[in-house]
Amino acid sequence: MDFLVSVIVPIYKVEQFLDRCVESIQCQTYKNIEIILVDDGSPDKCPEICDNFSQKDERIKVIHKNNGGLSAARNTGIEVSSGEFLCFVDSDDYIQPTMVEHLVDAIKNSGAKLAVTNLKTVDEYGNRVFNLEESPIIDGVFSGQELLPKIYQKMGWYYIVAWNKLYHRDLFEFIRFPEGKIHEDEYIITEIMWKAQKIVCISSEEYIYTYQRQGSIMTEKQAQSHCDWLEALYLRYQFCSAIEKLSEFTKDTRAVYFRELNNLYLDDNLKKCSTRKQRKTAKYQYKFMGGKSNTEKVNWILFQISPNLEYRIVQFVRKIRIILKNSEGDFL
């Protein structure tokens, strides 16, 4: 018998997209699903639209709650879900009719507890933003140890996002999305992948993601987003540092953290819109990341003296190395 899949949709101020989203879930070729619409205190017509859908489709369950943010809405959906497997769909996106079926088949054929599908990224007019060949997702079955390093590669966010996946509910037994955070999926993806161990990926574009282009004007929210990302990286580092098999990934995480810590201080807009406390916290977190190489220790000392000084010295050293490398080539 086909297992039940719970499709969880957090909803807030998306009345122009909501019909398209819910209808794409209703018409899935895989029929044994429940659709959980979590109205996160939306002030528009979304609550009414949700109720209308539930009156016409017995598979739809509507939860009305006070506004608590995306993570709180997803967590509520997890709590009320009944499915053996869970799937998240953001309400301004939609999915192909075959998405759940293809993910379920991939799970059955591989015995994995986590399935990841490719996605098609479009703008608000439906035009493709990224070409298919840019996607890092390929067909195959991977371990968490194999797949985690890919999140730092080009387009690695395809692996990080919460909504192009099918999860066995056991993966969320002790895990929830962190509430009040902007990079909520960054906080949990490492633990989810490691706990799943076996992960099956399919290259077909089953999820349609509406890409929201951010404006060029820096806001406090964008600074908070950067600081939340740093916190997620720090927690990822702490989790991985205790796992010997992830030692290389741990080093990569520390390196990415230091790069983004630099950006927090060297990007004029980020520095202007972040608070002194946020920047101090970010430095404090890196200070207590162990296992630094001698080069990292020197860079950290220079950074504490002056982030700009550290940056200039590192760039100078890199130029010298390039010159020496080219000179060796000419000599040979």
Per-residue pLDDT of 111-121, as tens digits, reads 999 999 999 99
Digit-coded pLDDT (tens) for 119-149: 999 988 888 988 888 899 999 999 999 999 9
Q: Are residues 177 and 264 in the same domain?
A: no
The pLDDT of 290-303, averaged and rounded, is: 95
Helix, strand, coil percentages, rounded to 5, for the chain: 55, 15, 30
Q: Does residue 76 lie in a domain region?
A: yes
For residue 43, being part of any structural domain is answered with: yes
Q: Which domain holds residue 195?
A: 5-210
Task: For residues 318 and 245, state if they share a domain.
Answer: no
Residue 296 lies in a domain: no
Q: Is 259 inside any structural domain?
A: yes
Could you tell me if 189 and 232 lie in one domain? no
| Domain end call among 178, 210, 242 | 210
Same domain, 262 and 184: no
Q: CA 157: distance to chain centroid? A: 6
Mean pLDDT of 13-41: 97
Retrieve residue 77's tokens: 């959906």
Mean pLDDT, the chain, integer? 93
- For residues 101 and 36, state if they share a domain: yes
Co-location of 280 and 316 in the same domain: no
- Could you tell me if 278 and 177 are in contact, meaning their C-beta atoms sit under 8 angstroms apart? no
Cβ 5 vs Cβ 59: under 8 Å? no
On whether both 251 and 276 belong to a single domain, the answer is yes
**Is 211 in contact with 122 (CB distance < 8 Å)?**
yes
Domain boundary among 192, 210, 228: 210
Q: What is the pLDDT of residue 131?
A: 87
Examine residue 143 and state whether it is found in any structural domain, yes or no.
yes
Quote the CA–CA distance of 206 and 149 in Å, as a whole number: 23
Rounded Cα–Cα distance for residues 320 and 113 (Å): 49
Domain identity same for 257 and 230: yes
Across the chain, where does the E strand assignment appear?
5-11, 33-40, 60-65, 85-88, 94-95, 114-122, 140-143, 165-168, 198-210
pTM above 0.75, yes or no: yes
| CA–CA dist 211, 312 (Å, integer) | 35
Q: What is the CATH number of the domain that holds 24?
A: 3.90.550.10
Residue 228 lies in a domain: yes
Phi, psi for 91 (deg, rounded to 5):
-75, -10
Residue where a domain stops, chosen among 210, 240, 268: 210
> Does 185 reside within a domain?
yes
Looking at the structure of the chain, the number of domains it has is: 3
